Every structure is written in C-alpha cells, then in structure tokens.
Structure 1
Amino acid sequence: MFKDISFANPQFFWLFLLLPLALLWYFFKHNEESASLKISSIKGFTVNNILPKLKPLLLILRLVALAAIITALARPQTEDISTRTKTTKGIDIVMAIDVSSSMLARDLKPNRLAALKEVAADFIRQRPNDRIGVVAYAGESYTKTPITSDKSIVLNALKEITYGQLNDGTAIGMGLATSVNRLKESKAISKVIILLTDGVNNSGFIEPQTAADLAVEFNIKTYTIGLGTNGNALSPVAYNADGSFRYGMRQVEIDEDLLKNIAEVTGGQYFRATDNEKLEEIYDEINKLEKTEVEEFKYYKYEEKFRPWVLLAGALLILEWLLRNTLFRSFI
C-alpha cells in the first residue's frame, strides 16, 4: 500500500501515540458514565438485542478516522525523478597509436598491439561525454578517424588497426603532428593527445620537437606512453619464406628522454608500460587526470496522495455519526 510512497511531514506520525491514550480514556470514562440498576432478579427479562454488544464499533470508527487524518497530515506522496545531464567541459582526445612491426612483440600478451587495442577500447567506453579520434603511425601517419562523439565509430576504427597498413618505421613526429592537426580547430575546453610508441623516432619528415611545439601553440596537452618490457623482448626480426614473421629476442629501445620532453613541454605526463597490467593502470590514471565536468539536472514531480485518506476519514466520521443517532441512539 505504501510502496514507492514518501511522506512530506512524517513528524505527524507521532500523533499516533494519542490513539492508545484515547482508547484508555474511553474505557475509564465509559465505566464512570454507565448507569447501573440493582434489582433482586432479572428473571422474566428477555434480552436478545445484539446492538449493545456492538457499541465499541463507534469508538473503532472514530479511532480509524483519526488515524486516517494523521496519515493525511503526514502528506503521503509519490515522487517522479527525471534527470538531464549537460556536459559543461567536454574534452577532445586523439589517440596516436604506433603500428610498426615492433608492436607485434610478445612481451605483452598476446602482443603489444593487441593488448593496447583492448585497453584503449575500455578507455574509450569510459569517456561517453568526450569526442575521440584515432591516428595511426609507423613510417608515416594518417587519421584513422577524426574526433567524433560516436563511440561505435571510434571502437570500429580501433579494431581495424593492424600492422601492414603503413610502411614500417617509427615516425613519432609525424604521428604527433597529425594528431595536432586533428585538434587545432577544436573548440573544446581541453584538448588532449595520448601518444603511444615502443621505439625511437627513425622515420618521417617532421621532427618530434617541432610537432611538440605545434601542440604547445594550440594548447594541446600530450600524454606519452613508452610500451615495452625492460631488457629483451620476443620481437619480429625477419620474414619467413611464406611471408610470416620470424621472431627472436631483441633489445627494447624506447626514447624515453624524447617522450618525457614532449609530455613536459605540452603539460602532460610520461608513462612506461612494461606489461598488460601496467598498461591498464596507465590508461586508468589518464582517465582520472582528464575528467569531464558534467552537470546533472534533476526534476522532481510530486503527486499528493493525502486526499483518499481525508475522504476515508470523512466517510468514517459520517458513518459513526449516523450509527450514533440511529441504531445506537437508545443505548448511548
């Protein structure tokens, strides 16, 4: 009966304490007011009327009416809450992903590129209020998808990234410059690049420092991630006769000084991911650092439910009055 019902004035329920007091008062007062007649014998009197036994019904009707009035005073009501969210500070993010052959190294499981795509997909799903784009780079770079709020497009673009779509190499400067180009016209409050690589800059015609200066000019923060274990990793070293990769142990070389410098000058941070767990932690940390401010508006609609209780109390009081002045008139 009271499911999903709240009370605007629950303090009135304290009045229920008056009901047992009223009941006690009735019994004491009733005994005092009841007339008595002493006779030697009631032989010859036949009393078959049941009405005197129903006399307490009047009290019950009055007490139930009082309980209904108290409930009405407490103002039972249902509450309907609707919400609307407004993004007050949206963030535009470009993920620059290294897709060189070294990203097939197996120090992360099943390999660096597959591990990155899985973690990056989780990151994208956690940014429902932001626009995200994807840039892929190896010996050169290209925009896989421009910044968009449609996460399904971004996730599909990320899923389609594979090795072999670009000439091999690691053009960090090109990847960063292409990312800057995607964000330079953005009107977002915050613009962010997440640049990941597992090597050193050895390709491209744009120097990483030049690209970093461009990011500074357009007020674009860059988080850099060096991906790869410390020491040696099982990596592609040559091609087999069937065109597949031959794997061998290779020294992991990451230009950490360059990545740290890019992050520092643009106001970002540098991270090193040596395994799958560390990579997940890094993206979680970036997710926490770059928070989108969302304003939530709540609209409350109340529907008052006290009227049925008032009507019930009124009906009970009228019934009590009618019974008192008709059926019970001669007994009370």
Structure 2
Amino acid sequence: MFENIEFAHPQFFWLLLLLPVALLWYFLKRKQEVASLKISSTGGFQVNSILPRLKPVLFILRLLALSGIIVAMARPQTEEISTRTKTTRGIDIVMAIDVSSSMLARDLKPNRLSALKEVAADFIEQRPNDRIGLVVYAGESYTKTPITSDKNIVLSALKDITYGELTDGTAIGMGLATSVNRLKESKSISKVIILLTDGVNNSGFIEPQTAADLAIEFDIKTYTIGLGTNGNALSPIAYNEDGSFRYGMRQVEIDEELLQDIANTTGGKYFRATDNEKLEAIYEEINKLEKTEIEEFKYYRYEEKFRPWVLIAGALLLLEWLLRISVFRSFI
C-alpha cells in the first residue's frame, strides 16, 4: 500500500500513540457507561440479542477513522523527479597521435598504436559533453577529424588510423602546430591538446618550441605522453621482401626533456607510459584533470495521496453514526 509513497509530515504519526491509550481508557470506563439493574433473579428474562456484545464495534470504527485522519495529516504522496543537464563549461580537445613506424613496436600489446587506439577510444567515450578532434603525424601531419561533438565520427576515424598514411619520421613540432591550428578559433573556455609520441623530433619544418609558443599565444594547454618501455623494445628495423616489417630489438629513445618543456610552458603535464596499464592510467588521470562543468536541474512533481484516507475516515465515521442511531440505538 505504501510502496513508493513518501510522507510530507511524518511527525503526525506520533499521534498514533494516542490510540492504545484511548483503547485502554475505553475498556476501563466501559462498565461505567452501561446502566445496571440489581434484581434477585434473572430467571424471568430471556436475552437472545448479541447486539450488546457488539457495541465495541462502534469504538473500533472511531479508532480506525482516527487512524485514517492521522495518515492523511502525514500527507502521503508520490514523487517524480526529472532532470535536465546543461553544460556550462565545455572543453575542446585535440588528440595528436604519432603514427610513425616505431609505433608498431611490441613493448605494448599487441603494439603501441593498437594499445593507444583502444585506450583513446575509452577516453573519448567518457567525454560526452566535449568536442574532440584528431591529428595524426609522422614525417608530416594532417587533421584526421576536426573538433566535433559527434563521438561516432571521432571513434570511427580513430579506428581507421594505421601506419603508412604519412611519410615516416617524427615531426613533433608539425603535429603540435596542426593541433593548435585546429583549436585557435575555438570559443571554448578550455582548450586542450593531448600529444603522444614514442620518439625524438627528427622531421618537419616547424620546431616544437615554436609550436609550443603558438599554443601559449592561444591559451591552449598541452598534455604530452612519452610512449615506450625503458631500455630496448621489439621494433621494426627493416622491410622483408614481401613488404612486411622485420622486427628486432632497438633502443627506445624519447625526448622527455622536450615533452616536459612543452607541457610545462603551456600549463599541461608530462606523462611516461611504459606499458598498457600505465597508458590507461594516464588517460584516466587526464580525464579527471580536465572536467567539464555541468549544471543539473531537477524538477519535482508530487501527487498527493491523502484524499483516499480522508474519504475512508469519513465513511467509517458515517457508518459509526448510522449504527449508533439505528442498530445500537436501544443500547446506548
């Protein structure tokens, strides 16, 4: 009966404590309410009616009616809550991804590029209120996807990223500059670049520091990620006759000093991912650092349920009154 019911004034239930007191008072005073006649013998009387014994029913009806009134005073009601969210501070994010041949190294499973794509997809799905774009770079760079709020487009483009789209090399400055170009016209309050690489800047005609200065000019924060294990990693070292890569152990070289400098000067942070778990943890941390402010509005609709209790109490009192002036009239 009270499923999904709340009470606006539950303090009125304390009045229910009066019911056992009233019940006790009734039984103590019951004999005093009935007139008595003392005679020597009742042999001449025959009492066949059970109505006198049913007289307490009238008091029970009153107690039930009083209980109904108390429940009605407590105001039972159902509550429906609807919510509407409004993004008050959206973030525009560009993910700059290194797609050079070294990203096929197998120190991350199954390789660096595949591991990154899996983690980056999870990151994108956790940013439903932000616009995200993709920039890929190797010996040069280009925009894979402009910043958009359509996550299906971004996820599809991310899935399609493969090695061989660009000439080989690592043009960190080009990748960063292209990302800045994607964000410089953005009206978003917060603009972020997540730049990932596994090597040293060795290509391109834009110096990384020049690109970092551009990011500072347009108030774009840059998080940098160095991807690769410490020491040697199983990496592509040459081509086989069929065009596939031949793998061998190669020293992992990441210009961490450059990545730290880019992050520090733009107000971001540098991370080092040496395995799949650390890469995932890095994106989770960035996700926490860059939170979109969302304003939530709640609308409450109450449906009052006290009226049936008032009607029940009224019906019980009416029934008690009718019985009192009719059936039990001769015994009151």
Fold shared per TM-score above 0.5? yes
1:288: which partner in 2?
A: 288
1:128: which partner in 2?
A: 128
Give the Cα–Cα distance (whole angstroms) in 2 for the partners of residues 279 and 131 of structure 1: 22
Give the Cα–Cα distance (whole angstroms) in 2 for the partners of residues 154 and 69 of structure 1: 61
Cα shift at 1:311: 1.1
Cα shift at 1:209: 0.9
2:155: which partner in 1?
A: 155
Cα shift at 1:114: 0.7
Q: TM-score, normalised by structure 1?
A: 0.98
Cα shift at 1:51: 1.5
1:97 is aligned to 2:97: yes
1:10: which partner in 2?
A: 10
1:62: which partner in 2?
A: 62
2:174: which partner in 1?
A: 174
- What is the CA RMSD across the aligned residues, in angstroms? 0.9
Give the Cα–Cα distance (whole angstroms) in 2 for the partners of residues 265 and 33 of structure 1: 95
Cα shift at 1:46: 2.5
Q: C-alpha deviations, 1:43-75, integer Å up to 9, x for none? A: 343222121221111111100100000001101
Matched residues, percent identical? Answer: 84
3-state SS of the aligned residue for 2:87? strand
Give the Cα–Cα distance (whole angstroms) in 2 for the partners of residues 39 and 239 of structure 1: 127
1:86: which partner in 2?
A: 86
| Correspondences of 1:32-43 after superposition (within 5 Å) | 32-43=32-43
Give the Cα–Cα distance (whole angstroms) in 1 for the partners of residues 47 and 33 of structure 2: 22
Q: C-alpha deviations, 1:7-39, integer Å up to 9, x for none? A: 000000000000000101111111222222233
1:219 is aligned to 2:219: yes
Which amino acid letter does the alignment assign opposite residue 239 of structure 1? Answer: Y
Cα shift at 1:113: 0.5
1:138: which partner in 2?
A: 138
Which amino acid letter does the alignment assign opposite residue 103 of structure 2? Answer: M
Give the Cα–Cα distance (whole angstroms) in 1 for the partners of residues 142 and 46 of structure 2: 110
2:314: which partner in 1?
A: 314
3-state SS of the aligned residue for 1:330? helix
3-state SS of the aligned residue for 2:122? helix
Which amino acid letter does the alignment assign opposite residue 115 of structure 1? Answer: A
Give the Cα–Cα distance (whole angstroms) in 1 for the partners of residues 59 and 145 of structure 2: 79
Q: C-alpha deviations, 1:169-210, integer Å up to 9, x for none? A: 111111111110110010001000000000011111111111
Q: C-alpha deviations, 1:64-87, integer Å up to 9, x for none? A: 100000001101111110101111
2:183: which partner in 1?
A: 183
Cα shift at 1:265: 1.0
Stretches of structure 2 that go unaligned for 5 or more consecutive residues are: none
Give the Cα–Cα distance (whole angstroms) in 1 for the partners of residues 163 and 51 of structure 2: 97
Give the Cα–Cα distance (whole angstroms) in 2 for the partners of residues 45 and 140 of structure 1: 119
Deviates more, 1:33-42 or 1:82-91: 33-42
Give the Cα–Cα distance (whole angstroms) in 2 for the partners of residues 142 and 58 of structure 1: 89
Give the Cα–Cα distance (whole angstroms) in 2 for the partners of residues 55 and 239 of structure 1: 105
Which amino acid letter does the alignment assign opposite residue 210 of structure 1? Answer: T
Which amino acid letter does the alignment assign opposite residue 211 of structure 1? Answer: A
3-state SS of the aligned residue for 2:329? coil
Q: C-alpha deviations, 1:267-292, integer Å up to 9, x for none? A: 10111001111111111111111111
3-state SS of the aligned residue for 1:186? coil
Give the Cα–Cα distance (whole angstroms) in 2 for the partners of residues 48 and 146 of structure 1: 97
Cα shift at 1:313: 0.9
Q: TM-score, normalised by structure 2?
A: 0.98
2:330: which partner in 1?
A: 330
Which amino acid letter does the alignment assign opposite residue 244 of structure 1? Answer: S
1:231: which partner in 2?
A: 231
3-state SS of the aligned residue for 1:262? helix
Stretches of structure 1 that go unaligned for 5 or more consecutive residues are: none
Which amino acid letter does the alignment assign opposite residue 180 of structure 1? Answer: V
1:113 is aligned to 2:124: no
3-state SS of the aligned residue for 1:317? helix
